[in-house]
Amino acid sequence: MAYFLDVILPIPLKKAFTYHITDAEATFIKRGMRVAVPFGKNKIYTALAQKVHQSEPLAYEPKTIHQILDEEPIVTESQLHHWQWISEYYMCSLGEVMRAAMPNAFILESETILTKRDTQYPDDNFFTDDEFLIYEALQHQSTLKIDDVSAILDRKRVLPVIHGLVEKGILNLQEELYEKYQPKLVRYIKLAEGYTDEKNLEALLEELNRAPKQRQVLLTYFTMHSTSKKPISVSELSKRSQSSSQIIKALVDKGILEDYHLQVDRVIPKEKQDKSVVLSKEQVTALKGIEHQFQQKDVVLLHGVTSSGKTEIYVKLIEKQLGLNKQVLYLLPEIALTTQLVQRLQTYFGDRVAVFHSRYSSNERVEVWRHLLDTSTPSKIVIGARSALLLPFFNLGLVIVDEEHEQSYKQFDPAPRYHARDAAIVLSNIHNSKSLLGSATPSIETYYNAQQNKYGLIELKTRYNNVLLPDIELVDLADKYKRKHMKGHFSDRLIEEVSETLQEGHQVILFQNRRGFSPIVECTTCGHSPQCPNCDVSLTYHQYRDQLRCHYCGYNTVMIKSCEACGNATLDTKGFGTEQIEEEVKQLFPKSNVARMDLDTTRGKFAFEKIIHSFENREVDILVGTQMLTKGLDFRHVKLVGIMNADNLLNFPDFRAHERSYQLMAQVSGRAGRTDIRGKVLIQTYNPHHNILQQVSTNSYEEMYVEQLNERYSYKYPPIFRIIKVTLKHKDYNRVNQAAEWYCKSLRQVFGAYVLGPEFPPVSRIRNQFIKNILLKIPPNQNLKRTKEAITKIDNSFNAVKDFRPVRVILNVDNY
């Protein structure tokens, strides 16, 4: 009987791929091992073994696999189970989940290697210019890759040139697999065999009297060797003996020392400190409450005001799990913002903290993966942003989702478009573990689940140390402008408070949810404003670089001096961003130090850390920033928070805009007065009577919740109804229109009035692609699985229409 293997390929196609395998392979292969398989014309992919069976595919002749890449599975059963759920719930292929889950270095790539054939030297007219460049490069090096060719020819599409050379018999093509992951090796040094004997040693030292530097190295080696049996690295020896590596090399060359390599993990853990906290009475009550609720409920929401000490409660819960030899997953909305937290946890748990960081290199992520697979090591607490939940856990005891309301938990692009909080709860269930969701401003969804008794609920209403929540004052901008009490974008009240805070030696945070200098440049003569050529949006002025930039596609151009339409030099700016606030701060408070934290100032690898550090160390007095400032940062000396303009948050066209405004403002406000003195918050707005602002200023979360939930009922939105957003994209305006009409009509035939659209979003063209949205609302009693099956059917028929096939369709379940 012949054997076959179903595999998962890291591609968006939703079907199983079957290959032919030998009897021996069939007994060796286990689910979750990687295999290299041929795919398409001459590609090699890394696939994941899913199932060995004996039923031959009928529709096609299966190919055979190239090779097995693992000795043992590197993806576990429970992972595969979880991936399956994600792919079904979020309507994507298993391969897309696999690609999101596995570090790139695990997914071996086929790279085309070019080599030169031994043919006689052809005459000059034989080559085109491009071909000659490649031929010449191969005179100097034996192989080239496609990327090298791109570099030589300075362009992307090089395959035709390569094909040309292949046809002329100059090149060989060869598909080659290579392991991308390279363990980091450190060079160590030891005494060569012959010298370990004492007699020889004496003779040696005698001999080295004429080479005092080498003698010095050797003596240092002995000292180091006698005090510790740890391997001695070349760099350490060189440092301790104050000698160059040249001298060490001379000793190696003489055969006195030998060098060897050892692999080290590049995720080097911090030292553990013995520092245990004593919980306050309120914290103890909350902790007990959580543990009590876990006896009946799988999920508990910890609703604790900002700075109530939620983190310390997590720490106690983690401690307990590690004591039981269980693993803990700690999810954060954005790992880059949480160096503070990682440090805090490392002081408690030392090297048992594993950080899974999207900014880590692929190699570093492979190491975390391998650590988790190694079930013989002590269990870990894994901290990471959303993709950490796709790691190979084996005995998870607790999942913590901190700042559970954060929208960055939802993956937007590419698929799988999963919500990490929800996927984490499912993961936790698979492991029979518990989930704790924490927030000062829970999402309406989660609070609703708690109210429905689906989740447990524990509340912490006071701050740690009984510091009062900040005093929040609303400043009426319309009135201030009328009375001419404004300087730039600062009201007199804000200026007073900032001055006072600085005088007292405290720090200030100023929040403005836009980056750049101003979002619109407008000609006062003709009203024209410069637009992005690729997107349907006006360009933002960035004064610092003297540029106009598009925040959607990155397009930029030098700032214009006069209007492109009428030619008059009458350009004005409208609206303002963080750059402008920073400018104004410098003029209003020339003696203070100001820093800015937004996407533009935090691009480098450690840029964040630097800004946070200098603010913590009080080298900076005033920090201006976007919503990056809101996410769980713990600064000890901030007394004042200023929200420059609340209105652009409130007026955002989205059913979650009010909920989000509340969360954002409550969270930024929460940065004020975290230690002993009460903080102050000023919110500048044209609508001081807006309900949300009233609720923020009185810290009335429940009131906000009740009001928002009513709206969700009336307008049929989550958490009452579920939603699936269908987005269609294409560069041709008419085609996207026709396609959207067709799709929408088909959906309506099944779901009737619960289909909204199709509709262009506020920014209807991005990167030259027109965008149209359809929203499907799913009533509480409607079967979710069958709903998705109906959509899939429509999607398949859609893709069967030739004209529609080039239109990209994106299904976003529980769109955020």
Give the separation between CA 400 and CA 383, rounded to whole angstroms: 9
In the complex with ligand ADP, the residue whose CB is nearer, 571 or 638, is: 638
Q: Which of 34, 66, 310, 431 binds ligand ADP (CB under 6 A)?
A: 310
Give the separation between CA 814 and CA 748, rounded to whole angstroms: 19
Site string for ligand ADP, 281-300 (x = CB under 6 A): --x-----------------
Q: How many CA atoms lie within 13 A of 575 on its CB side?
A: 20
Q: And the tokens for 292?
A: 């009590």
59: CB partners within 8 A, 6+ apart: none
Burial class (CB in 10 A: 0-12, 13-18, 19+), 141: exposed
Pairing state of beta strands 765-766 and 769-778?
Answer: antiparallel
494: CB partners within 8 A, 6+ apart: 475, 642, 682, 684
Q: Give phi and psi for 638, each to the nearest 5.
A: -85, 125
In the complex with ligand ADP, the residue whose CB is nearer, 284 or 478, is: 284
| DSSP H or E stretch at residue 140 | helix 129-140
In the complex with ligand ADP, the residue whose CB is nearer, 77 or 312, is: 312
Q: And the tokens for 21?
A: 């395998």
Site string for ligand ADP, 38-77 (x = CB under 6 A): ----------------------------------------
Q: Which of 280, 327, 441, 626 binds ligand ADP (CB under 6 A)?
A: 280
Segment contacting ligand ADP by CB under 6 A, of 171-179, 301-309, 321-329, 377-385 = 301-309
Answer yes or no: is 553 a known binding residue: yes
Q: And the tokens for 683?
A: 């919110």
Instruction: Pick what 310 binds: Zn ion, ligand ADP, none; C-beta below 5 to 8 Å, kind-dependent.
Output: ligand ADP
For the segment 672-711, give every residue that binds ligand ADP (CB under 6 A).
674
- Which whole-number Å values give the CA distances from 383 to 387, 459, 479, in the listed order? 10, 24, 47
Give the separation between CA 61 and CA 20, rounded to whole angstroms: 9
Cβ at position 341, least distance to ligand ADP in Å: 8
Segment contacting ligand ADP by CB under 6 A, of 122-130, 275-283, 495-503, 536-544 = 275-283
In the complex with Zn ion, the residue whose CB is nearer, 407 or 556, is: 556
How many residues at the interface with ligand ADP, by CB under 6 A? 16
Burial class (CB in 10 A: 0-12, 13-18, 19+), 256: buried
Q: And the tokens for 686?
A: 């044209």
Give the separation between CA 350 and CA 67, rounded to whole angstroms: 40
In the complex with ligand ADP, the residue whose CB is nearer, 180 or 320, is: 320
Rg of the chain in Å (alpha carbons) = 31
Cβ at position 804, least distance to Zn ion in Å: 26
Cβ at position 763, least distance to Zn ion in Å: 9
CA dihedral 384, 659, 443, 700 (to 10 degrees): 120
Considering Cα of 656, then 658, then 663, then 668, what sign does the dihedral take? positive
Answer yes or no: is 92 a known binding residue: no
Instruction: Pick what 308 binds: ligand ADP, Zn ion, none; C-beta below 5 to 8 Å, kind-dependent.
Output: ligand ADP
In the complex with Zn ion, the residue whose CB is nearer, 52 or 553, is: 553
Contact 49, 63 (CB under 8 A): no
Give the separation between CA 278 and CA 283, rounded to whole angstroms: 9
Pairing state of beta strands 17-21 and 765-766?
Answer: unpaired
Answer yes or no: is 744 a known binding residue: no
Q: Which of 2, 173, 262, 277 binds ligand ADP (CB under 6 A)?
A: 277
Q: And the tokens for 116?
A: 């030169």
Segment contacting Zn ion by CB under 5 A, of 484-492, 527-535, 639-647, 807-815 = 527-535
Q: And the tokens for 234?
A: 């070349």
- Which whole-number Å values give the CA distances from 353 to 270, 317, 435, 613, in the listed order? 9, 14, 19, 22
307 binds ligand ADP (CB under 6 A): yes
Q: And the tokens for 416?
A: 């799988």
Give the separation between CA 547 and CA 542, rounded to whole angstroms: 5
In the complex with ligand ADP, the residue whose CB is nearer, 343 or 568, is: 343
Per the rule left: phi > 0, alpha: psi between -120 and 50, beta: everything else, 614 is alpha
Instruction: Pick what 399 binds: ligand ADP, Zn ion, none; C-beta below 5 to 8 Å, kind-dependent.
Output: none
Q: And the tokens for 329?
A: 């997953």
In the complex with ligand ADP, the residue whose CB is nearer, 309 or 758, is: 309
For the segment 84-143, give every residue that binds ligand ADP (CB under 6 A).
none
Q: Residue 217: name the closest of 175, 171, 254 by CA.
A: 254
181 binds Zn ion (CB under 5 A): no
304 binds ligand ADP (CB under 6 A): yes
Residue with tokens 């979003």: 761
Site string for Zn ion, 532-571 (x = CB under 5 A): x-xx--------------x-xx-x----------------
Instruction: Pick what 532 binds: Zn ion, ligand ADP, none; C-beta below 5 to 8 Å, kind-dependent.
Output: Zn ion
- Which whole-number Å values give the CA distances from 743 to 705, 756, 764, in the listed order? 35, 12, 18
Segment contacting ligand ADP by CB under 6 A, of 277-285, 359-367, 521-529, 715-723 = 277-285
Contact 812, 734 (CB under 8 A): no
Instruction: Pick what 203 binds: Zn ion, ligand ADP, none; C-beta below 5 to 8 Å, kind-dependent.
Output: none
What's the distance, Cα to Cα, between the start and end of the chain in Å?
A: 50
Site string for ligand ADP, 366-405 (x = CB under 6 A): ----------------------------------------
| DSSP H or E stretch at residue 349 | helix 339-349
Instruction: Pick what 555 binds: ligand ADP, Zn ion, none; C-beta below 5 to 8 Å, kind-dependent.
Output: Zn ion
312 binds ligand ADP (CB under 6 A): yes
Cβ at position 534, least distance to Zn ion in Å: 4
306 binds ligand ADP (CB under 6 A): yes
Site string for ligand ADP, 774-813 (x = CB under 6 A): ----------------------------------------
Answer yes or no: is 563 a known binding residue: yes
Instruction: Pick what 660 binds: Zn ion, ligand ADP, none; C-beta below 5 to 8 Å, kind-dependent.
Output: none
3-class DSSP assignment, residue 428:
helix
Distance from chain centroid for Cα 517? 27
Q: Residue 332: name the closest of 321, 316, 344 by CA.
A: 344
338 binds ligand ADP (CB under 6 A): no
How many residues at the interface with Zn ion, by CB under 5 A? 7
Cβ at position 737, least distance to Zn ion in Å: 21
For the segment 453-482, give every residue that binds ligand ADP (CB under 6 A).
464
For the segment 592-651, give every residue that binds ligand ADP (CB under 6 A).
634
In the complex with Zn ion, the residue whose CB is nearer, 426 or 520, is: 520
Residue with tokens 């969700």: 712
667 binds ligand ADP (CB under 6 A): no
CA angle 727, 733, 737 (to 5 degrees): 55
Segment contacting ligand ADP by CB under 6 A, of 76-84, 174-182, 276-284, 513-521 = 276-284
Segment contacting ligand ADP by CB under 6 A, of 11-19, 49-57, 92-100, 272-280 = 272-280
Residue with tokens 């949810």: 513
Instruction: Pick what 309 binds: ligand ADP, Zn ion, none; C-beta below 5 to 8 Å, kind-dependent.
Output: ligand ADP
Cβ at position 466, least distance to ligand ADP in Å: 11
652 binds Zn ion (CB under 5 A): no
Site for ligand ADP, rule CB under 6 A: 277-280, 283, 304, 306-312, 464, 634, 674
Site for Zn ion, rule CB under 5 A: 532, 534-535, 550, 552-553, 555
Bind-site residues for Zn(2+): 523, 526, 532, 535, 550, 553, 563, 566
Bind-site residues: 523, 526, 532, 535, 550, 553, 563, 566
